[in-house]
Amino acid sequence: MPGLTAPSDYAEEPPRHPALRINSKEPFNAEPHRSALVSSYITPVDFFYKRNHGPIPKVDDISRYSVSISGLVNKHIQLSMDDIRMLPKYNVTATLQCAGNKRTAMSKVRKVRGVGWDVSALGNATWGGAKLSDVLELVGIHKLSSVTSLGGKHVEFVSVDRCKEEKGGPYKASIPLKQATDPDADVLLAYEMNGETINRDHGYPLRVVVPGVIGARSVKWLDSINIIKEECQGFFMQKDYKMFPPTVDWDNINWSTRRPQMDFPVQSAICTLEDVDVIKEGKVRITSMIERDV
C-alpha cells in the first residue's frame, strides 16, 4: 500500500518502556508487570501489552495512506485519513485482551504452544475514531444490516503486516456484518489511543477496535476492508484461536470442527502479589477491579 510498508527486518523498531516484561524479542511481544497493570483504570500506552507477529509497519507518507473498501458491495472506495477524520468521532473505553493471556499458567497443567504470557496481556484504553457502521454506510451498507444486496455477511480486516503464519501474507480477521453495522457495538476505526495519536506498536495510523471479543480481531495497521460471504479464511481465524476439549491434542486436531473464538469467558487474576509472594494466614481483603468489555 502506498504510504504504509511492512519492513523485512527488525532494524527500525519503535522504542519501548524498559519495565515491560519481554516474552519475545523478534517479533516483539511484551506485557507490563501485573502491579503496573492495575495501577490505573486506564492503562497507559507504554504499559499496554504489545502483541506482534513481525516487524512493526512504518508510514512512509501519511498523505498517501488510504484504506480500500471492496468485496460484495456495489461501490468500491478508497478512504484517506482525512476522509476518515471527517466522519463523526467517537471515544470508546474498552479492554483488549490477547487470547493467549495466562498461557504460562495453563502450561503448568498441560503444555500449550504460543507466546508465554503471564496475566497482563490485556489493557483498558480510551480509543478515538470513526464508527465502522458510519464507514460502511459510505459504500451503501445500512446500519444494522446482516447481509448486503450481493450476499456479504462478514467484514474482513486486512493488515499491511506480514507474518510467517500466513506464509508471508498479511494478517487478517473478520467479524459478522451484523456486529460491524451495529452502532451500539462500538466497533471503531481508531486513530487515537488515550487522547493521543495512536503509536506504531498499537496500529498507527489506523486500526480496528472490536470491543468484547479477543484482541486478535482488532486488526492493526489497516490496509483494506472486504465484505465477504463467509468468515475470513486466514490462519488466525481457521487454524488458531479456537477452543477444543481436553481429548484433542496436536496429533488429532481437526480445526474445521470448531468455530473461531470471539467472546471471552470471564476470568480473574491476583495482580498486587506475584506468584512467589507469601501472605500471613488469616483473613484477607480483596478489592476487585472490574473493567468494561473484558
The residue ranges of every structural domain in the chain are 4-242
User: Which band of pLDDT confidence, cut at 50, 70 and 90, is reported for residue 289?
Assistant: low
Domain 4-242: top CATH class: alpha beta
**At residue 3, what are phi and psi to the nearest 5 degrees?**
95, -15
What Cα–Cα distance (Å) separates residue 194 from each residue in 26, 76, 83, 117? 27, 32, 22, 24
**At residue 82, what are phi and psi to the nearest 5 degrees?**
-65, -40
Cβ partners under 8 Å of residue 116, min gap 6? 23, 103, 104, 107
Residue 274, C-alpha cell as written in the block:
506475584
% of residues, the chain, pLDDT over 90 = 84
Residue 216, C-alpha cell as written in the block:
486478535
| Cα distance between residue 236 and residue 228, in whole Å | 17
Taking alpha carbons only, the member of 287, 250, 274 closest to residue 36 is: 274
SS3 (DSSP) at 1: coil
Q: What is the pTM of this model?
A: 0.94
User: Which band of pLDDT confidence, cut at 50, 70 and 90, is reported for residue 294?
Assistant: very low
Asked if 157 contacts 177 with a C-beta cutoff of 8 angstroms, the reply is no
pLDDT higher than 70, residue 293: no
